[in-house]
Structure 1
Amino acid sequence: MKNFVVKTLANAAALAVAIWLVDNITLTGDSTGKKALTLILVALLFGVVNFIVKPVVKFLSFPLFILTLGLITFVINALMLLLTSWLAGKLDLNFHVEGFWTALLGGLIISIVSWALNVVLPDDKD
């Protein structure tokens, strides 16, 4: 359970950095508290998308991994961010990613921040 909370908070922090750095990734809300709650819910949604959908997409695109020497990972991360944005809209969460190139940059930022946080934060496996 502790690992789940840590990973969700790391996702929320990575999403917050992407929202801060990229103009076309937006999180709107009436108050700071509502924005924070929305960010946590979007982080949970992003975690679920990455847990359920991403492995299937990676498996089906395995030949592209070999062909592109793994660079297709950036495209898959962008697609997962776009899917999260679409699902957030369906769930009435005020999170939006505008366009593929924005998602590609946002996915890159989220990957870097998540990696850095996973290096620093404790893990149950240690």
Structure 2
Amino acid sequence: MIFKLVIQLAIGVSGLWLAVKFVPNVEFIGPIWPISAELNWNNFSQTLLFAGIFLGVLNFFVKPVLNFISFPLRLITFNLFSFVIIMGLIWAVDLMSPGLTIQGILSLFLTSLIIFTFSAVLTLK
């Protein structure tokens, strides 16, 4: 159980890092806390860790509940509705994290695609 949580945290942090590097209009701007306005790398790493850990926790605790509730939709769409769930979770992280900025539905879609792919590959049994 702890291993699964660690995997979800790693998926969140690495997926957001890849999205910032390769997806246009996805960026970390400003610090998480207004007190720490020193180096850009420090602000970037703090924001990345905060947003990635928040996404990992949402994936670990909230996603199973949403998967259970949306089981009929996932059954009809051959589990593609799980992608919509991940997209909604990333949107929630974008709203809750002051340093993360995802502008536009295409950027949100591509970020979700990266994290969905990471999650599918790393959680294979």
TM-superposed CA distance for 1:74, in Å, is 1.3
Aligned pair 1:113/2:122, yes or no? no
TM-superposed CA distance for 1:2, in Å, is 7.7
Matched residue, 1:22: 23
Contact 2:94 2:102 in 1 (8 A): yes
Matched residue, 1:96: 101
Contact 1:17 1:110 in 2 (8 A): no
The one-letter code matched in structure 2 to 1:12 is V
Matched residue, 2:58: 49
Indicate the RMSD between aligned Cα atoms, in angstroms: 2.3
Deviating above 3 A after TM superposition, structure 1's stretches of 4 or more consecutive aligned residues are 1-7, 113-116
TM-superposed CA distance for 1:24, in Å, is 1.9
Q: For structure 2, which runs of at least 5 residues remain unmatched after alignment?
A: 31-38
If the length of structure 2 is used for normalisation, what is the TM-score? 0.76
The one-letter code matched in structure 2 to 1:85 is D
Within 2, Cα distance between the matches of 1:10 and 1:73? 16
Q: Percent identity?
A: 29
If the length of structure 1 is used for normalisation, what is the TM-score? 0.76
- Across the two proteins, how many residue pairs are aligned to each other? 114
